[in-house]
Amino acid sequence: MRRQIEHAIETPQRLRKAQRHPTEIERTVGVFCDRELAYALRRRCQDPNCILMSVWTRRPRLATASFELTLDLRLKPPHERARIELRLCLCLREPDLRLSVVMQGDREALGASCRERIREDIRVFGARAGATEVSIDLG
């Protein structure tokens, strides 16, 4: 891309195409994570026994052989001030695709049963993503 930017006057169409490609990949990764994991967590919010109130997907960060994505979890009262993040990292280390998930924030506000349900959803997500190794740290 650097070469194309330097020569943008000669090849403006190639430059625009090269700039669109990472954006399309980023959007696709974000949609996949939103549909496969955030949606499952949002369904948990409908359970009266679950303390989750809402789930928000942040924009993914892409690298050559990996991506990172953060989900913001909001809780029902009286824990609405608690901020919890699920940080996902999916990276390719031939021949394995590794998924690593770490929960940050007020983990205890979720409770053990809710964390276990989230862990189940992450395992399903990992399988759908094709991860051969899954590491989950929810506390």
pLDDT of residue 137: 96
Q: Are 36 and 42 contacting, i.e. CB atoms less than 8 angstroms apart?
A: no
| More confident: 10 or 45 | 45
Among residues of the chain, what percentage have pLDDT more than 90? Answer: 57
pLDDT of residue 6: 60
CA 14 to chain centre: 30
Tell me the domain boundaries of the chain.
2-137
91 pLDDT more than 90: yes
2 pLDDT more than 90: no
Task: Render pLDDT for 67-89 as a digit per residue (tens, 0 to 9).
Answer: 999 999 999 999 888 889 999 99
| More confident: 6 or 42 | 42
- Average pLDDT score over the chain: 87
Phi then psi dihedrals of residue 67, to 5 deg = -150, 155
CA 122 to chain centre: 10
d(CA 125, CA 122): 5
20 pLDDT more than 80: no
pTM above 0.85, yes or no: no
Confidence bin at 26 (pLDDT 50/70/90): confident
Confidence bin at 4 (pLDDT 50/70/90): low
| More confident: 90 or 64 | 90
